[in-house]
Amino acid sequence: MESRAKLFGHPIHPMLIVMPLGLFISAGILDAVYLGTRNAAIGTVGFWNIGIGILGGLLAAVFGLIDWLAIPSGTRAKRIGLMHAGINVVVIAILALVWLDRYVTVDHLPSTQNVMIEAGALALVMVAGWLGGELVDRLGVGVDDGANLNAPNSLSGRPANAAVPRPR
């Protein structure tokens, strides 16, 4: 089932999830390092990583919703997609609460409790990522119809199932 939201022939949702995921992981690492070093600059960067990650995650969710709405009802893919989205919404909500809790502190520094909550959110995002992989790798959601190992470049304008001339 092809993605409904594409840019230059590629699904937008998977392009967008990379940034918030990386920001959330780096925030967790930076905040853990802050607890060990008490370097305020490191803790402050972790705070801003969470904030920017939330914005990126919400943007990615819009395109994920567009693709999810196109999945036929009653399918395993529809159920897995709902779980994937639901967990990611919970992660965004948890991290938004952590961000708001830190917003009122000097230099926006994390507490030990904040870092533990972030670790839990990262564990949840790993489950959501696995479900996203299940959607793409197992169920073929977002994969071009006719995709194959020799499909033409998406910028060529030819469909994925078009014959590709073999080099001589």
**Residue extents of the structural domains in the chain:** 6-144
pTM of the model: 0.90
pLDDT tens digit string along 106-149? 899 999 999 999 999 999 999 999 999 999 999 999 888 888 88
Mean pLDDT by 10 residues, the chain (168 residues): 88 96 98 98 98 98 97 97 98 98 95 98 98 95 86 84 70
Amino acid letter for position 93:
A
Looking at residue 167, its pLDDT comes to 65
Looking at residue 168, its pLDDT comes to 67
